[in-house]
Amino acid sequence: MKIIAGLAAIMLCLPGAMCQTGSGYPDSKDIAAITEAKPRPGPETLTDPIANDRYNSSLEGWGDRLHAAGMRLCRFYKRSGLPKADCGK
């Protein structure tokens, strides 16, 4: 009986390519990532090249995290049936 229930669960998951887990809401980590504040440059970035490089690196990382979370959310909503959800590449 457990095998039949397991097979039924697998068959239900296949059409969506990924089953939703939990409450059916987007992952809270993605919500946190898209609401993360943009890094602010300190005054030292104007005079210290190393501080400027660190700021630029933190800004790039922030942008990458924001984009990745946005793409995961787009795929979540597309799987949920949102019309015209175009997640790009």
Domain residue spans of the chain: 23-89
Average pLDDT over residues 28-52: 95
* Sequence-separated contacts (24+) of 74-79 with Cβ below 8 Å: 76/26, 76/27, 76/30, 77/26, 79/16, 79/17, 79/18, 79/20
Q: Is the pTM of this model over 0.95?
A: no
pLDDT digits (tens, 9 = 90+) for 60-81: 999 999 999 999 999 999 999 9
Structure confidence at residue 1 (pLDDT): 44
Token digits of residue 1? 């009986």
Structure confidence at residue 70 (pLDDT): 94
Structure confidence at residue 6 (pLDDT): 44
Which of 7, 4, 11, 62 has its CA nearest to residue 33?
62
